């Protein structure tokens, strides 16, 4: 057993914290909420130069072959400052998916571009009536003489409008067995028949409805196994979930730090409000829940990196992180009072983000049911 970080990981964290505190002030976060692109291309370029976009990709594709835990450390720092960027969608949801399931050509074509910051990718999975259940997926891909025609609607696709490629999970066959009959296609954004509609959301992040109308995709753009793509999607979702947990833990930690700072300064009834036990206990409760959540996230991340079975650990991490982050922002609101409710304060940014993150990739109830399936069925 070893619960410590390596020297390299400590350096990575410190570098990331310094870099992001300079490059990602809250003014930038607010600006990106209004911005059409929703991320800063110049910052993206700098992230590529820092080596972050290739951190977990192997050297043969230009990356540096870091571990999944390294990535989690970086994501924790990104979550801390609420970095608006398609990092997690590009790297975790798509880059690692292609690395694991793609053929050599696909990997060569796309991974190099990702590492250099020349390609942004996203995953088109959810649908109007589907969250994360494979058997309900209805967007269809039907073979014709030139390839496959995709038709249907995908919802909550992050950064779809700027993505060079969408990885679209489609139904290609009957669901005779759980997760069967699904195939993922690499969809080039220049394909005709794609239509993007922005969704107005709580966190003012970039999520889109994507309509596929007779979108023709060549056969060589099939990612992974035909009719048997869910296995890879499932692993992708596990990685994406843990990545999200890391961002959530980073965000929660920052909210706690802000709150403690405020509680030390704010004087009411002749003393700092942080000296009052009711508020002290709220802060202590937050600290305890972050500690538990972070421990579970690290364990899940480690298991992913080691290639060990991890579905229970991933679900535990997400159920803890989901409850921790939302509760943290709510207790922080309570302690800040009116000032924290004002849009020019930083807290609303976290308050919005926490709820979005809680429901994204399954909330606590969803993951507890997954745990129950593993334990009881």
Partner 1 sequence: MHFCFTEEQEKFRQEIVDFCKAELQEGSRTPDLPVSFRRKIAEKGWIGLSIPKEYGGQGLGAIYRVIFMEEMAYWRAPIVAYDYGVTMSLLGNMCLRHGSEAQKSEYLPKIAKGEIFCGQGYSEPQAGNDLSLIQTTAIRQDDHYIINGQKMWVHDAQTYRYTLLMAKTDITVPPERGISLFIIDNSSPGITVIPQIAMSGQTTPQVFLDNVLVPARNLLGEENMGWEYYLENKPFYWNKEQGAETGMMRRIFDDIVRYSKETKRNGVLLSQSAVIRQRLASMATDIRALRLLIYRMAWMETKGFDLSDIASLTRVFHVEAWIRFVNKTMQLMGLGGQLSRRQVPAPLGGTMEALYRQAALQLMQRAGPSYIKSTIATHHLGLPPAW
- Residues near partner 1 (CB under 8 A) are 1-5, 69, 256, 260, 263-264, 271-272, 274-277, 280-281, 283-285, 287-288, 291-293, 295-296, 298-299, 302-303, 312-313, 315-316, 319-320, 365, 367-372, 375-377
Task: Give whichever of 199 and 288 is closer to partner 1, judged by the CB atom.
Answer: 288
Shortest Å, Cβ 267 to partner 1: 10
Cβ distance 33 to 204 under 8 Å? yes
Task: Give whichever of 141 and 263 is closer to partner 1, judged by the CB atom.
Answer: 263
Shortest Å, Cβ 321 to partner 1: 11
Cβ distance 256 to 283 under 8 Å? yes
Cβ distance 185 to 219 under 8 Å? no
Task: Give whichever of 154 and 367 is closer to partner 1, judged by the CB atom.
Answer: 367
Residue 108 exposure: Cα atoms within 13 Å on the Cβ side:
3
Shortest Å, Cβ 301 to partner 1: 8
Burial classification of residue 220, based on how many CB atoms lie within 10 Å of its CB (0-12 exposed, 13-18 middle, 19 or more buried)? exposed
Nearest to 123 by CA among 253, 268, 233, 8: 233
For residue 119, the Cα-to-chain-centroid distance in whole angstroms is: 17
Task: Give whichever of 231 and 368 is closer to partner 1, judged by the CB atom.
Answer: 368
Task: Give whichever of 117 and 305 is closer to partner 1, judged by the CB atom.
Answer: 305
Task: Give whichever of 35 and 291 is closer to partner 1, judged by the CB atom.
Answer: 291
Cβ distance 111 to 57 under 8 Å? yes
Shortest Å, Cβ 75 to partner 1: 15
Shortest Å, Cβ 282 to partner 1: 9
Cβ distance 39 to 162 under 8 Å? yes
Task: Give whichever of 207 and 293 is closer to partner 1, judged by the CB atom.
Answer: 293
From CA 253, how far away is CA 250, in angstroms rounded?
A: 5
Shortest Å, Cβ 281 to partner 1: 5
Bridge partners, 195 (sequence order): 211
Tokens 């990885």 correspond to 167
Shortest Å, Cβ 83 to partner 1: 24
From CA 377, how far away is CA 374, in angstroms rounded?
A: 6
- Token output for 290: 């972050």
């Amino acid at each position: 057993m070893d619960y410590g970080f390596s020297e390299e990981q400590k350096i990575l964290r410190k570098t990331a914290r310094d870099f992001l505190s300079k490059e990602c002030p809250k003014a930038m976060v607010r600006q990106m909420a209004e911005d059409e692109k929703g991320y800063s291309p110049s910052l993206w370029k700098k992230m590529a130069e820092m080596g972050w976009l290739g951190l977990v990709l192997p050297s043969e594709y230009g990356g540096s072959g870091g571990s999944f835990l390294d990535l989690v450390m970086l994501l924790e720092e990104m979550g801390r400052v609420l970095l608006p960027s398609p990092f997690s969608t590009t790297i975790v949801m798509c880059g690692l998916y292609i690395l694991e399931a793609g053929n050599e050509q696909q990997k060569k074509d796309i991974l190099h571009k990702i590492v250099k910051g020349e390609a942004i990718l996203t995953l088109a999975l959810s649908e109007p009536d589907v969250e994360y259940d494979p058997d309900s997926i209805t967007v269809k891909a039907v073979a014709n003489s030139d390839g496959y025609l995709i038709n249907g609607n995908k919802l909550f696709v992050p950064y779809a409008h700027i993505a060079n490629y969408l990885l679209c999970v489609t139904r290609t066959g009957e669901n005779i067995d759980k997760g069967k009959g699904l195939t993922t296609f690499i969809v080039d954004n220049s394909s005709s028949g794609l239509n993007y509609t922005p969704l107005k959301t709580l966190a003012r992040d970039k999520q889109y409805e994507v309509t596929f109308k007779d979108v023709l995709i060549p056969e060589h753009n099939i990612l992974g196994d035909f009719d048997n793509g869910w296995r890879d999607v499932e692993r992708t979702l596990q990685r994406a979930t843990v990545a999200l947990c890391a961002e959530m833990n980073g965000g929660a930690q920052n909210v706690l730090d802000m709150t403690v700072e405020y509680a030390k300064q704010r004087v009411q009834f002749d003393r700092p409000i942080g000296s009052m036990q009711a508020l002290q206990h709220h802060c202590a409760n937050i600290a305890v829940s972050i500690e538990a959540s972070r421990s579970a996230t690290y364990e899940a991340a480690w298991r992913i990196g080691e290639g060990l079975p991890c579905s229970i650990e991933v679900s535990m991490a997400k159920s803890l992180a989901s409850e921790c982050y939302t509760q943290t922002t709510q207790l922080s609101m309570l302690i800040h009072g009116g000032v924290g409710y004002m849009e020019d304060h930083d807290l609303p940014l976290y308050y919005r983000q926490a709820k979005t993150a809680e429901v994204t990739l399954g909330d606590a109830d969803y993951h507890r049911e997954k745990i129950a399936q593993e334990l009881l069925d």
